[in-house]
Structure 1
């Protein structure tokens, strides 16, 4: 019996060329840290839904970064070129059901009387396919302006989410961040309330995309100030970060808060919202991802540069204890952020109660171990000052007693942990 074309294609397509998720021929193959390759759109959807595992192996991902598998992509291209012209698989990986000419017409009519949701969905489909398509779109005259312009008079959450989906796919392309910054933050039109609408009412994947876009366009002090001054935006970003359990949502929220919280008023607001307690809870999680730990400590370091931040951290016994616990257990950057926070509170702010908490959490030993590690000169100096500050710990009777390392010379180059 003669098989139909679809069955023939299914049999003849090399399994290596199929995405393990969609089972279709991959258009833009990318590899996870586990070594498994997926089609870009499929794995992005998987990760945005809150999964933190490799779909094929179910291994927990220490990093969600992926790299283009250019060798496999070339092999797929060569294979496709050798298929019969009438074969359903004869289109190139960079093709989609939406053509370039259609995209041009969609962009021209996007702010007219059209079905915007359908039009934006077609743009998403087009730019998802390949880097070539994304570059074509961002270089198209007025493409970004037209997409952003949809937000002007739109209060429909789904349409706003579609705009964000397009922007999230192209924001990493050359000069797009600057163009979005100009359109969203430097123009007289009010676009930020629409991002606020998504943070409040949008689905999880859209809120993650919104946070990422806000992080990317916070390019300078003026932009950061405008975002902080947008009523409710900083608060919603904090709520998003503190209430979500999805690691990608938490990571996106932390990254955005780090990007926008460069001024003292912003830091004070975050302290008032309870960011110190939020980070304490995040860090106390036994399965907190490394990237989340690093960003949490980085944000805490940022908050610790203002008096209100140092005071709140000093009063946060749980937060201080978990910082000590996390030292040397994550990345080098996370350890150095943690040391900077402890130094800011215990040495710069001279908080005696904080010193006691850090001392009781075995902070002195941890700081000594950091000094022996491959840390920067500045961090090693802060560790030395912390050692001096932590030599004496207040006991339960409020009588000061010297620790067994009270005579420790901070210039010693090697210490055996006890």
Structure 2
């Protein structure tokens, strides 16, 4: 009886000499060595003038597609792909001779940590491996099932979340997991598992659990189900207040922004001091959360009554990405043009906010952000004695928050 291999070895000739991953677009240098296009482009653009494999100086940095190798790789992929219902279905490169079917059965039946670790090691190796397992029959369903069972040991939960975090970007995985977990009768078990990890897991597993949760919350029903979990929201707020890890705080702030779709959840966050918490360290993620909260009157009041928060938002103008800058403008527009607090406007002016808003307005094309900047300039004109802002008039018609 022939044993099924756990992995199919990728031929070395199909691997890029730089990344060691299966080549997607093989191209050859004048030295005759073939690389994946993205890898060799990065090598050459970083200033190198040699062939990475041979270290020969390149008389020319031009490369040509290796069409023959490209065809061979595609043929190999097709012959190695798992087929639905195949009894000989296997996973991909490695050394074990444990049958893949038995491995999945052990995970499904026992939530076996050893089997989960094998899968985790495999999917962490390269993108091709992740694509392979996602195409496998029942793989996503079995892995997701670990998080919906009772009394699973923490190591198995952490490993499972690590696997999901790695495969979430693959086509259709988020949708499948959302349907399996957040739109089924197993939702409460899943959220309980997330709470358990956030309370007892390692820092890395906490970050991954929040990222997975955030990725699954892509429609209104899923966001509502997550925000309805009182324990989960309380723990997220506690982590945000007590934790010092930037990566975890960013993940938590992101999920809070994602689920803050109703006035009730926004009010709950505000009542629990979230504005004061994020004001201690303004990041791009926290600017997004503040912009979300500023769409309701309670949020605008909380931001306006926190001088440090306004000052930090102004300080970060022009220092963050375009998206985060737009979030900062939304926050300032909400408290200066809707709330109309005189002290807030003064704080913006004192932080050189007028100059920064003018710069943003100048570089923005026509749109809501530019109109908000015009409104801000007009609102700040009264408290900005040293600037001649008479020419900056505005006639704006855009949707205002509730």
Partner of 1:102: 99
Residue correspondence of structure 1 range 181-200 to structure 2 within 5 A: 181-189=178-186, 190-200=189-199
Partner of 1:319: 309
CA contact (8 A) 1:110 1:146 kept: yes
Structure 2 spans left out of the alignment, 5+ residues: 1-15, 24-35, 45-64, 74-91, 395-402
Partner of 1:131: 127
Q: 1:140 to 1:199 in 2, by over 3 A?
A: same
- Matched residue of 1:187: which SS? coil
Structure 1 CA distance for aligned equivalents of residues 332 and 370 of structure 2? 13
CA contact (8 A) 1:111 1:149 kept: yes
In the alignment, structure 1 residue 120 sits paired with structure 2 residue 110 = no
TM-score by length of 1: 0.69
What is the CA deviation profile of residues 351-373 of structure 1, one whole-angstrom value per residue up to 9, with x for unaligned ones?
Answer: 23322222222222222222222
- Matched residue of 2:108: which SS? coil
How many positions carry a matched residue from both structures?
326
Structure 2 CA distance for aligned equivalents of residues 18 and 409 of structure 1? 55
Structure 2 CA distance for aligned equivalents of residues 369 and 410 of structure 1? 16
Partner of 1:54: none
Which of 321, 330, 339 aligns to 1:331? It is 321
Structure 1 spans left out of the alignment, 5+ residues: 1-15, 20-24, 38-69, 79-93, 284-292, 394-400, 412-418
What is the CA deviation profile of residues 23-64 of structure 1, one whole-angstrom value per residue up to 9, with x for unaligned ones?
Answer: xx67899999xx689xxxxxxxxxxxxxxxxxxxxxxxxxxx
Structure 1 CA distance for aligned equivalents of residues 105 and 157 of structure 2? 19
Structure 2 CA distance for aligned equivalents of residues 392 and 342 of structure 1? 16
CA contact (8 A) 2:167 2:173 kept: yes
TM-score by length of 2: 0.72
In the alignment, structure 1 residue 351 sits paired with structure 2 residue 341 = yes
Structure 2 CA distance for aligned equivalents of residues 203 and 242 of structure 1? 17
Partner of 2:59: none
* C-alpha displacement of 1:294: 2.5
CA contact (8 A) 1:160 1:194 kept: yes
Partner of 1:88: none
- Matched residue of 1:188: which SS? coil
CA contact (8 A) 2:108 2:146 kept: yes
Partner of 1:84: none
Residue correspondence of structure 1 range 41-56 to structure 2 within 5 A: none
Structure 2 CA distance for aligned equivalents of residues 251 and 314 of structure 1? 23
Structure 2 CA distance for aligned equivalents of residues 223 and 379 of structure 1? 29
- Matched residue of 1:129: which SS? coil
* C-alpha displacement of 1:132: 3.1
* C-alpha displacement of 1:267: 1.4
Q: Which moved more, 1:319-328 or 1:363-372?
A: 363-372
Partner of 2:159: 162
Structure 2 CA distance for aligned equivalents of residues 239 and 252 of structure 1? 13
Partner of 1:273: 272
Partner of 2:31: none
CA contact (8 A) 2:378 2:392 kept: no
Which of 383, 386, 392 aligns to 2:376? It is 386
Runs of 4+ in structure 1 off by over 4 angstroms are 16-19, 25-32
Partner of 1:410: 393
* C-alpha displacement of 1:98: 4.3
* C-alpha displacement of 1:323: 1.0
Structure 2 CA distance for aligned equivalents of residues 192 and 107 of structure 1? 23
* C-alpha displacement of 1:406: 5.1
Partner of 1:227: 226
- Matched residue of 1:234: which SS? helix
Structure 2 CA distance for aligned equivalents of residues 103 and 300 of structure 1? 47
- Matched residue of 1:245: which SS? coil
What is the CA deviation profile of residues 237-283 of structure 1, one whole-angstrom value per residue up to 9, with x for unaligned ones?
Answer: 23334433333223322222222222212211221222212222122
